[in-house]
Amino acid sequence: MRLHRNLVFGVVDGLHMIFNEGIYASKAVEQILKRDKRWGSRDRGFIAETIYDIVRWKRLYAEIAEVKEPFDRTNFFRLFAVWAVLRGISLPDWKQLEDTPTRRIKGRFDELSKIRKYRESIPDWLDETGVKALGETLWTKELHALNELAPVVLRTNTLKTSTPFLRKRLLEEGIDADLIKGYPHALKLKERANVFITEAFKEGLFEVQDASSQLVSPLLDVSPGLRVVDACAGAGGKSLHLAALMENKGQLIALDIYANKLHELKRRAKRNGAHNLETRLIDSTKVIKKLHKKADRVLIDAPCTGLGVLRRNPDTKWKLSATSLEKILQTQKELLRDYSKMVNDGGKMVYATCSILPQENSKQVETFLQSEEGKSFSLVKEQHIYAHSSGYDGFYMALLQRS
């Protein structure tokens, strides 16, 4: 493989944006890829995948390269050199890459791979937290799985099509996908591809949504005609799934504290043909109070550490801290107590996170059930989904019912 200067410089600039300017990896990649319209799909793939790889393995590569944060431009080239050497890519004769100790890099890699925090490239505090929460065996297996490349999974928009028809339609556009047993509306791509440029996507026939995430909305047990609230809707992947399960009948209210996310949801809902969905910005406590005991179903897809989706967002592990974890736990506790008040008598609620930590999951539900607000609820069922056993994202979901 021949390295091209403008692509490697793009990678280095992307790393600078992520580690020195605090920009999320997905946004940094998006901005870098807009730089040069002449870049083809292979060039763009190289930039995106290399940035994500170096972000994912930052701790291991930094240890091998003997560089410490804050990284300067020279450091980023050294991280890139480690990435290239470990992939057997010949380094060009550029001044930024001269004197790269190829043999030493391989030796250090073998040596550090015996230690989990380096092998899986994770901060000390997070490694300790994971071991304490899940135990050595489960944490080691899960952490390894969360460093693997996530498959691309689509969810059929049943308001517009069926899964067999979508599969056929994608094949006509050159995209081959498999059905996934146990996930009725999911298709897994055989090879990575930019599905957003397909006509099928523009027509709203599908959304990109991991298989584990596709289990959340069905657990809420919605049906046409109900009043359903998605309390932390964000850009609305699960809201759109709920609209499809409700067959566009009934009322679906998508709430969030971020106006830009709800704006994006409106755009997606239009493309999906989801007409029973309305968005409401939580700009005061009145928004929730007005819905007290008015909802048949409430989904709380709570803000969380996102540890279950590290494969997609590897920069998360560098942005998290022990302090931010404590704040997240407090927020989850408050959301459960406040938003559960929207559930009417006999109504159901799902609490879900894309985390694998018990303190964000089953322990939050236990605490809620023992609280004043939770005493009229009972736990119907819960699911712990781990990446190492499912092959998909790590998730937790609990179905609760008010008596």
What one-character-per-residue DSSP string does 133-145 give?
HH-HHHHHHHHHH
Asked if pLDDT for residue 19 goes beyond 90, the answer is yes
Q: Are strands 277-281 and 251-256 parallel, antiparallel or unpaired?
A: parallel
Query: CA 93 to CA 84: how far, in whole Å?
Result: 14
Three-state SS at 174: coil
Q: Mean pLDDT across the stretch 34-42?
A: 93
pLDDT of residue 68: 97
Contacts of residue 101, defined as CB under 8 A and 6 or more positions apart, other chains included, come to none
Identify whether 354 is a catalytic site residue.
yes
Q: Mean pLDDT across the stretch 2-19?
A: 97
Confidence of residue 355 (pLDDT cuts 50, 70, 90): very high
Q: What is the CA radius of gyration of the chain?
A: 23
Q: Is the peptide bond before 70 cis (omega within 30 degrees of 0)?
A: yes
- For residue 320, list its beta bridge partners: none
Tokens of 273: 């043909």
Query: CA 343 to CA 271: how far, in whole Å?
Result: 29
| 392, 212 contact by CB (below 8 A) | yes
Contacts of residue 12, defined as CB under 8 A and 6 or more positions apart, other chains included, come to 73, 76, 77, 80
pLDDT of residue 26: 96
pLDDT of residue 1: 87
Contacts of residue 321, defined as CB under 8 A and 6 or more positions apart, other chains included, come to 125
- For residue 148, list its beta bridge partners: none
Asked if pLDDT for residue 200 goes beyond 90, the answer is yes
> Of the listed 105, 265, 336, 354, which one is catalytic?
354
Q: Are strands 343-353 and 395-402 parallel, antiparallel or unpaired?
A: antiparallel
Q: Mean pLDDT across the stretch 11-28?
A: 97
- For residue 297, list its beta bridge partners: 228, 348
pLDDT of residue 116: 98
Asked if pLDDT for residue 188 goes beyond 90, the answer is yes
- pLDDT tens for 205-219 read 999 999 999 999 999
pLDDT of residue 335: 98
| 209, 155 contact by CB (below 8 A) | yes
Asked if pLDDT for residue 136 goes beyond 90, the answer is yes
Handedness of CA 313, 315, 317, 323 (dihedral sign): negative
Tokens of 232: 């932390």
Q: Mean pLDDT across the stretch 75-95?
A: 97
Length of the chain, in residues: 403
